Amino acid sequence: MTLLCATNNAHKLKEIRDILSSLPIKILSLNDFPRLFLPAECGSSYEENALFKVRQVFYFTGIPALSDDTGLEVEALGGRPGIFSSRYAESDEERRKKLLGELHGIPWEKRRAKFVCVVAFKSGKGEHLFRGEVQGFIAFEERGTNGFGYDPIFFLPEVGRTYGEMPEDEKNRLSHRFRALSQFCDWLKKNQDLLLSSSFSGP
């Protein structure tokens, strides 16, 4: 069975492959289709952005496809950066620096935040959405060097560490992406015909 993941982000792709490793599927990415590009994220919600991406890759390849849109919502910033999290600044380092700067002087109890991940799946038999969320806080400074994106500043109270301080396997059992993909995984195990219907036998 073959599934096309609508990303060329190596970190995200590895997380997705690790989380879905219990499924008997081959996961391709946009790296396998160098001429295929994703549309601009111009939706007004995670759901819209995830659907834009998954529809495009399925339309051009015909392969059952998976995409996600993820964002960090900070309570003290009115939910920003939200769906603009990946466009908040030019690089991961600059995004973290900007966010910490905006929260300068904000006390711990007002630094509540949540990570949101919406996964979209599309095949010739329809579209499905799965949403995962994790509540936490924005740390006062970067902690840890694991992960990517905002991981070093997103603190989970129940484990007393940031994502950036966790080994990959631990994060992949707790993260927002894990929660969304776990729902997808459970659903797909009951609907494996949606992947078996693919006749793709490419790379």
Residues known to be catalytic: 69
Cα dihedral 14, 16, 17, 22 in deg (nearest 10)? 150
| 131 dihedral zone (left: phi>0; alpha: psi -120 to 50; beta) | beta
Q: How far apart are CA 64 and CA 5, in angstroms?
A: 9
CB-hemisphere CA count at 13 Å for 90? 0
Peptide bond into 152 cis (omega under 30): no
Measured CA to CA in angstroms, residue 125 lies from 56, 68, 119, 200 at distances of 16, 19, 17, 16
The number of helices, as runs of H, and strands, as runs of E, in the chain is 6, 8
